[in-house]
Amino acid sequence: MNSQELEDLLLSFLVLLLLFSNFEIKLMPLVAPAILTAFVFHELAHRWTAERYGYRAFYKRWDTGIVIALVLGLLTRVLTGNAWIFAALGAVRIYAPYMLADREAFGKIALAGPLTNIAVGVIALVGSQLVSGTFYQILELTASVNLWLAFFNLWPIPPLDGYKVLRWSAGYWAISIGVAYSLNILT
């Protein structure tokens, strides 16, 4: 990972941390594990899966999305008391200069992010039943954010992951969105 990619991930992470904590510093320690696992792990799963297929991949922030997220978040925080979360802050860019793009590979690369969110969400959900207090709050929030992100990202709308998965395999898409939906309603 180069310094630019690390900077892009860190900036996107910090913006999401502000939004999900409703711009309240005291909530940031509770929210940080959820954002780390839901956002950073999701993007790294795409990156690592693409690299396994021989593609060059890296996370690139979208500055316009960051500005929109901050403006909408601050505006809705002031008007309603709760920040509205716009989470299109960047994406993993995949390059295949000497290979033809493979629909199956791109489908599996797209599915890697939501599957990571589902795995983390289930682990956090189970873990939350074994602890109490602050640890319960952190794990419950981590499960909720991860499972919601998995479900949201599987919607079959471009440029979301679900669109790419559906283009590759309707069966895998149906199963994955069904699992994500079912788990999402548990939290």
Torsion of CA 74, 10, 111, 137, to 10 degrees: -70
Catalytic annotation, pick one of 5, 7, 43, 140: 43
Q: In angstroms, rounded to a whole number, what is the distance separating the alpha carbons of residues 68 and 46?
A: 24
7 catalytically annotated: no
Question: If you ran DSSP here, which 8-state letter would residue 27 be given?
Answer: G
Alpha helices in 25-169 (DSSP H): 28-35, 41-52, 63-80, 103-128, 133-153, 161-168
- Asked whether the beta carbons of 34 and 146 are under 8 A apart, the reply is yes
Beta bridge partners of 92: 59
The catalytic residue positions are 43
